[in-house]
Structures are given as C-alpha cells and as structure tokens.
Structure 1
Amino acid sequence: MRRFKSISGELIVVAGTLLVAMAFFLVFTWGDSTVTMTYIIVADKIDNSREGKFDFTVVAEGGEVFAVRNVESQGIYSASKVFKTLEIGKRYQVLVTGRRLPLLGLKRNIIQASLAQ
C-alpha cells in the first residue's frame, strides 16, 4: 500500500510538470506572428457582426472553421474586406495565423485571401 501511494504521488508530480510545460509552450509560441498559406473551398460564411461581435466565420469544405478578424498586433484591419471577397463554392489561397484547437474553440484566422486556379 505504501508503494502505491509513492507511485501515485510521483504520477501527480509528473502530470503537473507536463501541464505547466504545455502551458508555457502555448503562451510563448502561440502568437499571431506565424503566418501560413493553405487552400480552402468555402462551404459557408457567417457574419457575426450583427450579434455584436467584431469577427466573421468561414466554414471550409472538410469542416474546418476559420475566423476572419482584425489582427491589431500586426496592423491588419481588413477583416470585413476579406470576408466580403470570399464566395461560397470557390477555391481560395488563404494566409492564416494562429492555431486550430477545436476542443478549446480556437480557430485559425484568415488575414488574406485570393482566388486559386
């Protein structure tokens, strides 16, 4: 019984250390500074500005949900323009920032879009 208590205490320390390490990783590597390029076909568009929010939502074929919002930290204030240019059913080359973590409700943010060939 004493051995089990010792092992369970060690497991709690290891799990706590891993959680703290993951939190530091997310905080220090998250940022909106990383920009990646991807291709999407727009399946749906949702204008959240009518609900008092200041962002838009785009659903791509395949089910990934993207946010379209301004990124003040990078001087990007073109969310409404980008949202208006996207048309349902068309394929786009998009620049996105952020990371996708569906369990936490986090979506990648589209900052630029152009029609793909």
Structure 2
Amino acid sequence: MKGRLKDISGEVFVVLGTILVALAFFMVFTWGDKAVMMTEITVIKKIDNSSAGNSDYRIISESGEEFTVRNAESQGFYAASKVFRMLEVGRTYQVLVTGRRIPLFSIKRNIIEAIPSQ
C-alpha cells in the first residue's frame, strides 16, 4: 500500500511538472508577442551575432536595456537584417517593439521597426 502511494505521488509530480513547463513555454512564446508598443531609444552599441551562427542581432540603448532584432514570424516580420543595418550608434529612434522583458529567462524585447527621431 505504501509503495503504491509513493508511485502515485511520483506520477502526479511528473504530470504537474509537465503542465507547469508547458504553461511557461506558452506564456513566453505567445503572450510576449502580443505586447507591441512604440518607444524611443538611443543606440549606444550594436552587436552582430549572425557570424556566430545565431539568427539575431542585439542593440543596447542609452537606458541600458538590451533589445534583440530578429525575424518575428508571428508578427509577419522578416527584415531583421535590414532594420539592424539601418540603426546607427549615437542616433535616437522611435522603435516598434514586441514582446516583454523577462530578466529571469534572459528574454529581451524585439525591435521590428525603427524610425529616426527628428
């Protein structure tokens, strides 16, 4: 009886753990893409990760926040390299970003459009 109860509690733990992980992935990959907003940034550094085999670029703003510039299929955005090339260090831009900043998972907001500020 005790052994069977121990087996059941282990199975429940595995099922609940699986559900929790699935929910976390769902929130990270769908909930974040729906957060689209316009913000102003001044670019202080550009990092090109494409040569390292990664498919994204990084932008560090004057406020210290790090953004990614990568294709966002859920937004219909496939011009990450074009946006990255357009951004210049020292210039200020109005940028359209998607996603949410979640430091615990090292998730950064994604720039999908940039317009130079006057």
Q: Give the TM-score category using the shorter length.
A: 0.7 to 0.9
Could you say what secondary structure the match of 2:88 adopts?
Answer: coil
Question: Which blocks of at least 5 consecutive residues in structure 1 are unaligned?
Answer: 1-18
1:14-93 to structure 2, matched below 5 A, reads 23=24, 26=27, 30-93=31-94
Cα RMSD of the aligned pairs, angstroms, is 2.3
TM value normalised by structure 1: 0.75
- Alpha-carbon shift at residue 75 of structure 1 (Å): 1.5
Q: Whole-Å Cα distance in 2 between the matches of residues 24 and 68 of structure 1?
A: 21
| In the alignment, structure 1 residue 105 sits paired with structure 2 residue 106 | yes
Q: Whole-Å Cα distance in 2 between the matches of residues 25 and 72 of structure 1?
A: 16
Q: Whole-Å Cα distance in 1 between the matches of residues 56 and 25 of structure 2?
A: 27
Runs of 4+ in structure 1 deviating by more than 4 angstroms, as ranges, are: 22-25
Q: Whole-Å Cα distance in 2 between the matches of residues 116 and 54 of structure 1?
A: 27
Letter in 2 for 1:113: A
Letter in 2 for 1:65: E
Q: Whole-Å Cα distance in 1 between the matches of residues 85 and 101 of structure 2?
A: 23
Q: Whole-Å Cα distance in 1 between the matches of residues 106 and 56 of structure 2?
A: 14
Task: Summarize the Cα distance change of 1:30–1:110 in structure 2 as closer, same or farther, 3 Å threshold.
Answer: same
Q: Whole-Å Cα distance in 1 between the matches of residues 109 and 32 of structure 2?
A: 11
Could you say what secondary structure the match of 2:37 adopts?
Answer: strand
The alignment covers a number of residue pairs equal to 98
Kept after mapping to 1: 8 A contact 2:35/2:100: no
Question: Which blocks of at least 5 consecutive residues in structure 2 are unaligned?
Answer: 1-19
Kept after mapping to 1: 8 A contact 2:95/2:114: yes
